[in-house]
Structures are given as structure tokens and as C-alpha cells.
Amino acid sequence: MYYAYKYRLKPSDSHHEELDRHRDICRQLYNHTLYRLNEYQDEHGELPSMTTLRSELPDLKQWWDDLDDVYSKVLQTVVERLFDNLKGLSKLKENGYSVGQLKWKPPREFRSFTYSQSGFKLDKKGGQTVLSLSKLADIPIRLHRAIPDDAKLKQVTIKKEPTGEWFATFGVKMDREPPEPPENPEKCVGIDVGILTYAHDTDGAAVGSLDLSDERDRLEREQRKLSRKQHGSNNYEKQRRRVAECHADLRRKRRDFLHKLSAYYAREYDFVAVEDLNVKGMLESPSNSRNTASAAWRTFLSLLEYKCDREGTHFVAVDPRGTTKECAACGVSTEKPLWVREHSCPACGFEADRDANAAWNILSRGLEVVGVGHSKSTPVETALPVDTPVSAKRVVEAGSPTLKERTASAVSE
């Protein structure tokens, strides 16, 4: 299994200069390789192979002295990066998208370079942990969490964020295989995601959406200040960084919330069923697209999927059509406008919270896909009205007493 571990670097001023210099050399090599690719295609009528362009690097060093200052594996990954971008364009064309050609990278768009297989290691020097990068420097790193002892470091990507901060992301391979999902899962849950209540599950727990209104207000204020600065001036650059810091603050808080919530469901349950949402299509809708983007449902589902795979938990994404309209007790569909938050079935009389009813339908469809069978409990017994949803601020690490107490009370009732 492969994982990514991201840490913040603490470079000195001299380290900052060297990191920027290496990054810019890699950017220039990327642009040169793109030029050579287009030139080769014009001469031979076909694209060159990646091996062909990588074999030109030794000759290129004879007249380009700066390349000798960069580790050889880093230069090779720059060529690989170009071909990865070409593959991405090809996939878009295959899916019917109209795409153009690759363009040269300006400094602001090329922010990272990668050491692959060798040329880097974590070390202890001067009483602190440093990341030793070949032909670059020993840069202090903040290891806020330990990398497992049995993990093999395959690569590290050094990236400069728009805020000016530098981060190192390690590509890690684990020798151990993930546990197999149980054949007969006991703890099953269906999750309905929304905006007013971010996640409502079949155990009666409802997690409120993360309130980032103060952060968005601050971002808008800083963006208005930026619009009044002269482009290219020192004040403009300072204000641009403030805006970038606001964006980073929003992104960090949102991802922290999603990581902790997805980790809870992956570790506490044997079977998780969710909606296979078409978030891209929802964003194209003229109504409520901002709240949809802020909810980051696709990110949550992606995090939940890989964590379920890691923990040995069944993960099933089901068709979301009709999950809100269908009655979880009898299956009869009832039209409900968005502002109606309660489900009341005219056929069987089953009443529940709108999201709780949808969560039960999601769980039932998920169990049918896997062929496990329905839960012993019925929606009438367990789909209780929600009194006080769990605040997003109270979502803590997996094993949260907040969520456990909420779930336990709903089941016991």
C-alpha cells in the first residue's frame, strides 16, 4: 500500500534561495524538454519516447552548467512530469473534452520538484530532525507525526506554496497488506451528506457543517485590499501573500475536518454506504454552487474510500437518485421540496427526519450491491428524529467520545 506523509520545512534564508534556484532550474528544463518534444515531432511526425528525451540529459549538461547543481534523479523526474501531463491530456481527449497543447511554465506555475528513489533521507543533526537533499542542503523539518518504522520512503516532493512556505511530501510504501473486509459485517452505516447537516447516518448521529464564515469574510476583506494595490509593487506582493494565507487557512481547516470525520467512520464501522454524487454536475448548477463547493463532498468521499480500504472496511457508493423521495420502511416514493425537512410516508405512516430516511435508503442499496443482506434493525426502530446535531468543531480524532455518546444514545433509545 502507498501513502503520502506531508510535513512543513523550516528553511533558513540561504535555504530559501537554494530551493528557489533548484525549482527554477527544473522549470527551465521542463520548458526546454517541451521545446525538444515539439521539435522532434515536427522532424519525425511522431512524439518521442520518454527514454529518448531522458537520454539527452548527459549531453545537455555539457553546455548547461546549472544542471550539474541539481541531483540527476530530480532532472529525470522533470522529464517524467512532462509525459505525465501528456497522458492527462490524452485521457481528457478520450473522454470527449476539447483540449489544447502543453504550454511553457512561468515561475508562478512551477512550484515543486521531486527526488525519486534516492538522493534524500531523514537525519538528526544538531539536535533536530533534518531532511538531507543531495546537492542542495540539510533542511530542518517539522515531523509532527512519525512515519511508521516498516515504511519505505520511495520519493519526496518539495513544494513551495503561494504563501511562501515550503513543504515536503513523502511517498511511502507499506509492506503489510490491508486487512480483508469481513464477510458478514456487523456494524453497518449509511451516510447522507448535505449542507445544513454535513453528515447524517443511520445510527442517528448528525454532524453539523463546518462554519467558515469568519474565514471567508477575512478573505474577502484581504482580496478587496489587494485590488487597490499597484500590481508588481512590494505592497502588492505583501498583500498577495496575505490573501494566499487566507486561502491556505480555509483549506487546512476544511481538510482537517474531513480527515477526522472520514477516519471516524472508517475505523468504527465494518460497512459504509454513501451516495455516488455527481459533484461536477452539481457545481454547474446556477443555484447553491458556492455551498456545494465549500462542502467538498467529493474530497470527503475520496478520503473515506481510501481509509476504508486501509482499515478493512466495506465501502460502497450507490446511485443517489430517489434516496430522499423513497420511504425507507415501505419503498413508496413521495415528492418533497427542498425546504421540507421531515419525511412522512402517506402509505405506511413512517415518519423520520428527511436525511435519516435518505441514509437508510443508502444503507439498504449498499447492502444489496454487496449482497450481505439487510440489517436486523428496521428504520422504524432506529431512524429517530435528531434533537441536537454534533457540532463540526467537536469532531475530533477517531474514537471521538462525542460521536460515540451520540451514537450510543440513539441506539439505546
pLDDT digit string, tens, across residues 47-84:
889 999 999 999 999 999 999 999 999 999 999 999 99
Q: Would you list the domain boundaries of the chain? A: 2-174, 188-412
- CA 235 – CA 344 distance, rounded (Å): 59
What pLDDT score was predicted for residue 397?
A: 45
Higher-pLDDT residue of 177 and 255 is: 255
The C-alpha atoms of residue 99 and residue 93 are separated, in whole angstroms, by: 7
What is the Cα–Cα distance from 159 to 109, expressed in whole angstroms?
11
Q: Are strands 351-353 and 120-125 parallel, antiparallel or unpaired?
A: unpaired
From the CB of residue 39, how many other CB atoms can be counted at a distance below 10 Å? Answer: 11
d(Cα 215, Cα 250) in Å, to the nearest integer?
7
In the predicted model, what is the mean pLDDT of residues 86-104? 86
How high is the pLDDT of residue 175?
A: 80
CA distance 327 to 341: 14
pTM: 0.80
For range 316-336, the mean pLDDT: 79
Give the pLDDT of residue 366: 86
Q: What percent of the chain has pLDDT over 90?
A: 44
119: left (phi over 0), alpha (psi -120 to 50) or beta: left
Give the lowest-confidence range in 86-100, 227-241, 368-382.
368-382
pLDDT at 259 over 50: yes
| Choice between 179 and 136, residue whose per-residue pLDDT is larger | 136
CA dihedral 63, 68, 74, 80 (to 10 degrees): 10
pLDDT-derived band of residue 388, with 50, 70 and 90 as boundaries? very low
